[in-house]
Amino acid sequence: FWVFMGRTFFYMASAVQTFIYYYLRDCMHIERESSIRWRLGILALTATAVGLVSSYPLGKISDKVGRKLLVYLACLAMGLAYALYIVCPFFGPYWGMAMVYSLGGLYGLGLGCYLSVDYALAIDCLPEKHKGSSEALGLWGIAGFIGTSFGPLLGGLLLETLGGFGKGGRYDFRGYIILLLLGSLFCLCSAAVTSFIKKAQ
């Protein structure tokens, strides 16, 4: 149960990235569509590269220090990235975007850290009776679908209602503050429920 809940909250947190396009447009004041897409590409490439490079060594480390510690570090990295996105607009277009890219790398590190132990944590917590293993893995898989479905739904609802309903083709900064803090909260919840898992270190 706790593995299921932890994974659900984690994917709800990662789904907040769905709104990064609008964040760049409304908070970083990037007007042109082509410029937004270009910066999105750099951000995605940065996060992916860091995640790819870090996943394997972090997986090896988890064999020595345990799975849960890496889940905590992953949630810390991603939660911190979301929280610091709030202050990026105050650093101007140049340094602010440099900070956004750096936080994208931190987010990628957190994602790589989590994915390196995600499957291992689930396998460590499978029921001892072989008969229930497939059912448990099926429920574990559903957690990802639930998280990636409800994360954007709840985030979009909050951004729409607290961000001024998109008046003038933009959302208010207040809406993004709530959205990003929600992402950090989901990370915190994921780490908190993971601490209740007894079968894994």
Tens digit of each residue's pLDDT (9 = 90 or more) over 123-135: 766 666 655 566 6
Q: What angle, 0 to 180 degrees and rounded to 10, lies between the N-to-C axes of helices 92-124 and 67-85?
A: 160
Q: What's the pLDDT tens digit per position in 76-110?
A: 999 999 999 999 999 998 999 999 999 999 999 99
Q: What is the pLDDT of residue 132?
A: 56
Choice between 67 and 16, residue whose per-residue pLDDT is larger:
16
Regarding the domain delimited by 2-194, which CATH topology (the fold level of the hierarchy) does it fall under? Answer: Growth Hormone; Chain: A; (1.20.1250)
Query: To the nearest whole percent, how much of the chain has pLDDT over 90?
Result: 51
- 129 is written with which tokens? 């009776």
Q: What is the pLDDT of residue 181?
A: 96
What mean pLDDT is predicted for residues 177-182? 95
Q: What is the pLDDT of residue 78?
A: 95
- Return the closest-CA partner of residue 197 out of 13, 65, 7: 7
Q: What is the pLDDT of residue 3?
A: 79
